[in-house]
Structure 1
């Protein structure tokens, strides 16, 4: 997975856009609820070596993923209970990274008002128990 691939996955989600509130090197991917503020679901320096991305995650699942994969840790400068840092160095399958991005997006959209969820065409959490 490279920076262009991460950007494409994030921007391919309904209502997603890229913002740079922390400077030009930090891509922040958000989804906007109307009329409320946009909510972040991913953060990455897409030009960094090694490439990594911060993603929202359910706390229990975050711990399980960290225990199973050394490439997944608590996200730097984020609430480590709810955010994972994912190293994109080729050790993790691209499909797994895509799933984690989609899960992060789902968690954020789940917190938006129902009318905003419907406007995005969101059908609900795709995970068991979500």
Structure 2
């Protein structure tokens, strides 16, 4: 997957997530996606290379960096909790969508229950939360 496709795939996925909003608090070169005011994805270019920066579980982030050479520690973010994704071999639409959704759900899970736009434990599984 090339860089422009990476950004489009990530943005398309983020825009489908309940409560997600796009902001540009750092200027036009940075697209920042938030849910209830909390960042779950950033997109920019680092020396001409489009990148997507996402929140990730620390163990998962480590495993992803081991498995994919196009996934590195979070650019300008906490290296333990964030990853940077570049386009390249092995990076397909399915992986991008999974990582964007996982980042979103990690952030939603930390919100107060009353502020959550979805149940982070059942969202996307096809099951409903018990009433």
From 17, 21, 24, the equivalent of 1:17 is: 21
- For 1:90 and 1:25, the matched residues in 2 are separated by 25
Give 1:64-79 correspondences, 5 Å limit: 64-79=63-78
Report what 1:30 is aligned to: 34
Contact 1:51 1:89 in 2 (8 A): no
Q: Is 2:40 aligned against 1:41?
A: yes
**3-state DSSP of counterpart to 1:78:** coil
Name the structure 2 match of 1:116. Answer: 115
* TM-score, normalised with respect to structure 2: 0.82
The alignment's TM-score, normalised by the length of structure 1, stands at 0.83
For 1:2 and 1:81, locate their aligned partners in 2 and report how far apart those are by CA, in whole Å.
23
SS in 2 for 1:17: strand
Partner residue, 1:106:
105
Q: Please tell me whether the aligned partners of residues 9 and 97 of structure 2 are also in contact (alpha carbons under 8 angstroms).
A: no
Answer 1 or 2: higher relative contact order, Cα 8 Å, separation at least 6.
2
Q: Distance in 1 between matches of 2:122 and 2:90?
A: 25
Structure 1 portions without partners, runs of 5+: 33-37
CA contact (8 A) 1:53 1:88 kept: no
* CA deviation after TM superposition for structure 1 residue 90, in Å: 5.3
What do the CA deviations read for 1:53-80 (whole angstroms, capped 9, x no partner)?
0000000010000001100000111000
Q: Taking structure 1 as reference, are residues 19 and 87 closer, same or farther at Cα in structure 2, changes over 3 Å only?
A: same
CA RMSD of aligned residues (A): 2.0
Task: Give the ranges of 4+ consecutive aligned residues of structure 1 lying more than 6 Å apart after TM superposition.
Answer: none
